[in-house]
Amino acid sequence: MNQADLQALKNPLLVLAAVLLAGAVAIYATGQLTASAQRQLTQQQAQLKEARTRLQKSGEEKDIIVRYLDGFRQLQRSGFVGEEQRINWLDGLRLTNQQADLFGVDYQIGVQKPYQFAGAFSPGQVELNQSVMRLRFRLLHEEDMMRFFNILARQNTGIFAIDQCSMRRIDTGGVIRYQPNVTAECEISWITAKVAAAGKQ
Amino acid sequence: MADKLLIGVSAQGATVGLWRGNRIAECHALANDESGHAAFRELLASFDNLPAYLMVDAVEEDYRFETLPHAFGSDRAEMVARKLRQHYRNTPYMTAWLLGRDAGKRRDDRYLFSALTNPELIDEWLKAVVARGLPVAGVYLLPMVSAALPQKLDIKAGNLLLVAPHVGGLRLTFFRDRQFRLSRLTRGDSGKGENRARYFGEEISNTRLYLHALRTMTLDEQLTVLLLDRNDDLADVAAGIARDNPSLECVRLGRQELAARLNLAESLLDASPYVMYLHLLGFRAPQSNLAPANVTLGHKRYQARRGIYMGAAALALGSAVWAGANLFQTLMLRGEEEDAARERAQLSAQYLEITRQFPAAPASAENLMKTVEIAQKLRESVRTPEMMMAAVSRALEASPTIVVKEFGWKYGTTEIEAESAGARTASPAAAPAPESPAPAGPAIVRKQSGLIEGEIRPFRGDYRGAIDTIHAFADRLAKEPAVAAVRVVKLPLNVSPALQISGNTLDSPDQSATADFKVVVVFKPNA
């Protein structure tokens, strides 16, 4: 094919290219429409299935609400559900120190982070967070440490887990009087849950 | 709008047929003079891009049957071209038609070489076509075109002599088994009245003798003579031939029958004897095209253009069908989606109606249940150092010489470090990074571990006794049901052969030597 042949076929080739382009655009555009419609249908069908299941389980749902509502509200009051109640924690620490007759508690609370062992509880839509609190306090006796934590737990200021502790004997030089004999350092995690309000899930 | 331009050229003039649909729509007979040429040019002026097919009826034609060694590809093309140049030096209008393979041992190729030996005959007409810019599809000899006639007229004779009076004389074409073998155009008038029957008879006899001389057919063989009588004036000739030549079968096809068999308007037969051949040419052009490549170049481009346009049309149609199918499917899917949405809305309304009777709750039922269950599990998962402290206390009861200086405890996925007994610092920034959030999936195993740092008191340099006491303590600890492992990580004296030991036996152990040790305890995972 030479230059003259190409010149003679210029217009048909341009038409062919235009048709090819237009055809490709039309097929692509309509294909996109079809794919989009397919996606929307799939989504709609999933929602329909969910609605159907929800309706079928509505009786069961009522039973669950009746059964768990009180427990849930109690957890709300204790501060486990909802935003962190750090003031409550500190109040709890202060009261515990008083009730356990300790020599004061140093504390430091870290930033809130997702709870590292949340996966073990299959939380679903419930978001579990933790804030690590480091405690340093002095004890008259080793058993005071467990007493301290038991009293703290009874303050009902939330759920906490003890991650690690250490106790070191203080050298008092053999003098026996009312004074701290052991220093304790502990790390505890205050765990809170964020739950979507009804109808917002 | 015509589809093809069919031009039958003879020494006397030209017959121009306009092919439309599947038939000749118009026919014009033009004389071979200035006025005829002018009329032809005027006729062509109204056409654009119309392929022209030229058919020539001339005495100046040549046919040769030859066999050539079997070859293919460029070898065959070169050999045939060389042969054509040998035979026809003075004309560009020549061609070779491969008829098949020879029956002999060598299986040579059989060719029919044909040519128009007087190219000037078509020059004026062809120039006009080229000047108008119409693509020339080909130049064909009339006998080659007429090869389709026996089949079209449904004549089954083995030896068939087609006889037709033309403007310049009588055209006699011989077919054997419907294959072209010979054709001749006699010069002069085809005769009138009684002379005409004799003239026809003589030309038929001459042709038979010629065929006999060429060894194409013997005189004894049965021959069918087909008279094409487009004017219905050869009935007496047919009768005369039949009477004078009993060995011949003479078949005459009159005007009506010719028109019927060829599916041609009778009125067109009046215009020219070439109309029926042009009709055949319009249906299908024979393979033997005499036109050289430079003449048909325009037609090749025309065909390429048409092919591309047809391809584009097919592409457009295919795309339209595809896009249409996509749109149809989209509509169907949207319909289904609307149905699903409607049903979902109904179900949601029913559900809302039902939930109005539910007690007011701050979260969904599922989240209520989940949260309470998680809180319960969290409480169950909590561990305290109490259990380990109790185990250590029990193990210490039998060893009053052991004094615990420091106790560390950890509940995590990793064990407590022997060098650091738990949280030593109150500064989070200085503390080791907390364990990263564990991904959801298989349950993560956490376990309690502890580090006991102590010393033997009193210690009087009796390393053996101290080490025995520490090991006994470790053994008692290991016997606790919750304990998975106990490791003594530090002893008062490292007796490893890899290390150097130094000291003095006179040193007072009460003053300077100590018997420190470290023991790591690991609980079973579920303890």
Three state DSSP letters for chain A: CCHHHHHHCHHHHHHHHHHHHHHHHHHHHHHHHHHHHHHHHHHHHHHHHHHHHHHHCHHHHHHHHHHHHHHHHHHHHHCCECCCCHHHHHHHHHHHHHHHCCCCEEEEECCCEECCCHHHHCCCCCEEEEEEEEEEEEECCCHHHHHHHHHHHHCCCCEEEEEEEEEEECCCCCCCCCCCCEEEEEEEEEEEEECCECCCC
Side chain identity, residue B31: A
Residue owning tokens 């009261």: A95
Task: Compute the nearest-CA separation of B33 from chain A (Å).
Answer: 34
For residue A199, the model assigns a pLDDT of 62
What is the C-alpha separation between B523 and B527, in angstroms, rounded?
A: 6
pLDDT digits (tens, 9 = 90+) for B233-269: 888 889 888 888 888 899 999 999 999 999 888 888 8
Side chain identity, residue A7: Q
What is the C-alpha separation between A167 and A186, in angstroms, rounded?
A: 9
- Inspect the interface and report whether the beta carbons of A125 and B412 lie closer than 8 Å: no
Q: Are B176 and B217 in contact (CB under 8 A)?
A: yes
Task: Compute the nearest-CA separation of A165 from chain B (Å).
Answer: 5
Q: Give the residue on B whose Cα is nearest the Cα of A20.
A: B315
Q: What is the count of residue pairs from A and B with beta carbons less than 8 Å apart? A: 293
| Strand ranges, E, within B186-313 | 223-228, 248-253
- Inspect the interface and report whether the beta carbons of B426 and A185 lie closer than 8 Å: yes
Contacts of A26 in chain B (CB under 8 A): 319-320, 322-323
A127 touches chain B (CB under 8 A): no
Instruction: Select the more confidently predicted residue: A106 or B503.
Output: A106
pLDDT digits (tens, 9 = 90+) for B51-100: 999 999 999 999 998 899 998 899 999 999 999 999 999 899 999 999 88
Contacts of B311 in chain A (CB under 8 A): 16
pLDDT digits (tens, 9 = 90+) for A77-131: 999 999 999 999 999 999 999 999 899 999 999 999 999 999 888 888 899 999 9
pLDDT at residue B216 is higher than 70: yes
User: Which band of pLDDT confidence, cut at 50, 70 and 90, is reported for residue B424?
Assistant: very low
For residue B421, the model assigns a pLDDT of 44
The length of chain B, given as a count of residues: 527
What percentage of chain B reaches a pLDDT higher than 90?
Answer: 61
Task: Compute the nearest-CA separation of A170 from chain B (Å).
Answer: 9
Q: Side-chain half-sphere of B301: how many Cα atoms within 13 Å?
A: 23
| Strand ranges, E, within B169-216 | 170-176, 179-185
Contacts of A31 in chain B (CB under 8 A): 326
pLDDT digits (tens, 9 = 90+) for B146-158: 999 988 888 888 8
A69 touches chain B (CB under 8 A): yes
For residue B215, the model assigns a pLDDT of 84
Across the strands, what pairs with B57?
Answer: B10
Short-list B422, B355, B364, CA closest to B388: B422
Residues within 8 A of A (CB atoms), B 432-471 only: 434-441, 443-444, 446
pLDDT at residue B503 is higher than 80: no
Q: Give the residue on B whose Cα is nearest the Cα of A193.
A: B371
Q: What is the pTM of this model?
A: 0.59
Buried b (16+ CB within 10 A) or exposed e, B245-261: beebbbbbbbbeebbee
For residue B189, the model assigns a pLDDT of 61
Distance from chain centroid for Cα B18: 39
What sections of B382-513 are H helices per DSSP?
386-396, 463-478
Across the strands, what pairs with B274?
Answer: none
Side chain identity, residue B46: S
Q: Are A183 and A170 in contact (CB under 8 A)?
A: yes
What is the C-alpha separation between A3 and A116, in angstroms, rounded?
A: 74
Residue owning tokens 């006994």: B472
